[in-house]
Amino acid sequence: MKVLVTGANGYIGRHVVETLLNKGCEVIACDINTDEVDSRATCLQFNLFDLPQGNIYELLGAPDVCLHMAWRNGFVHNSSSHMGDLSAHYNFMTAMIDGGLKQLAVMGTMHEVGYWEGAIDENTPCNPTSMYGIAKDALRRAMFQYTKPNQCLLQWLRCYYILGDDEKNNSIFCKILLAAKEGKKSFPFTSGKNKYDFIKVDDLAVIISKVILQTNIYGIINCCTGKPISLAEQVQSFINDKQLDIKLEYGVYPDREYDSPCIYGDVSKLQGIVQL
């Protein structure tokens, strides 16, 4: 199977490319630079926001499936780039479909939903509260409208809280690592009581690869564990596993008003694809 991966040099993309290659796929890895992409992939240094003339689908190798993971400033939820880039993402994917693409998988996010308490499934109403969530939500709605009449199967891969490869993920785990390296003995923290659906990036890469290598299950698919864990428990486990000489200072920062006390993904559809 020939898979085009956009954002292949990104935090998650590199792991997905490696996983697909290990499964025997032919991978076309596309990004502005590809210096950290597995050398077994066919690498294309390509700017999706500057589309050349011609059939973009053919120019990018006529893949069986396009896994669109490219996205700027994913960790900066209120960056102006999210809305500014929205049309470019839409133009790229619609051009691929117009050229002949029959299967499209797109990286989504639980931030499309906004504030919600409990499990999220494909029918959960969306009311995003960040520019990142708003842009992803708009793109999802637009692509479902576009793919159906054009007979392109769409898999919207809704992801949650990702950890692993921690020096490159710009999360709280990265910040704790940096603080420990600087010799700090304490780290200012919230109450840590909020519960989230955490998943390791390598495990997520396996899930994504299994989802896109089948076509029986499609639409919105939660790519997660389905098991909420408190932020405090997850961070403390991280500190222990890394044997860091640093302690959390609980209650220094208030919990964010827009964060749910407990939010996680319903994995009913995913269980039809992978064994959790």
Q: What mean pLDDT comes out for the span 43-47? A: 94
Q: Which amino acid is at 237?
A: S
Whole-number pLDDT of residue 258: 73
Whole-number pLDDT of residue 74: 87
Top pLDDT among 49 and 222 is at 222
Give the integer Cα–Cα distance in Å for 111 and 80: 16
Whole-number pLDDT of residue 167: 63
82 neighbors 138 (Cβ within 8 angstroms): no
* Mean pLDDT value across the chain: 94
Cα 201–Cα 192–Cα 132 angle in degrees, nearest 5:
55
Beta bridge partners of 29: 5, 43
Q: Is 132 a catalytic residue?
A: yes
Q: What is the pLDDT of residues 8-28, one digit of tens each?
A: 999 999 999 999 999 999 999
Whole-number pLDDT of residue 241: 92
Looking at 150-154, 220-224, 258-262, which range is the least confident one? 258-262
Q: Which amino acid is at 37?
A: V
Q: What mean pLDDT comes out for the span 21-39? A: 97
Which of 11, 57, 115, 132 is flagged as catalytic? 132
Neighbour count for residue 256 (Cβ, 10 Å): 10
Class of domain 2-162+199-226+265-272: alpha beta
Predicted confidence band of residue 166 (pLDDT cuts 50, 70, 90): low
Q: Which amino acid is at 109?
A: T
Looking at 94-98, 202-206, 265-269, 271-275, which range is the least confident one? 271-275
Give the integer Cα–Cα distance in Å for 154 and 121: 17
Q: What mean pLDDT comes out for the span 247-260? A: 88
Please write down the HEC assignment for all residues of 53-115.
CCCHHHHCCCCCEEEECCCCCCCCCCCCHHHHHHHHHHHHHHHHHHHCCCEEEEEEEHHHCEC
Give the integer Cα–Cα distance in Å for 263 and 229: 9
Residue 204 has pLDDT above 70, yes or no: yes
Q: Tell me how many helices (H) and strands (E) the chain has.
A: 7, 14
Whole-number pLDDT of residue 172: 85
Q: What mean pLDDT comes out for the span 25-46? A: 96
Q: What is the pTM of this model?
A: 0.93
Whole-number pLDDT of residue 270: 97
Q: What mean pLDDT comes out for the span 131-136? A: 97
Predicted confidence band of residue 165 (pLDDT cuts 50, 70, 90): low
Residue 149 has pLDDT above 60, yes or no: yes
**CB under 8 Å to 84, separation ≥6 — which residues?**
none
Predicted confidence band of residue 169 (pLDDT cuts 50, 70, 90): low
Residue 147 has pLDDT above 60, yes or no: yes
Whole-number pLDDT of residue 75: 83
Beta strand extents in the chain (DSSP E only): 2-6, 26-31, 42-45, 65-68, 103-109, 118-120, 153-159, 161-163, 186-188, 195-200, 219-223, 228-230, 247-249, 263-265
56 neighbors 92 (Cβ within 8 angstroms): yes
**CATH code of domain 164-196+228-263:** 3.90.25
In the chain, what are the domain boundaries? 2-162+199-226+265-272, 164-196+228-263
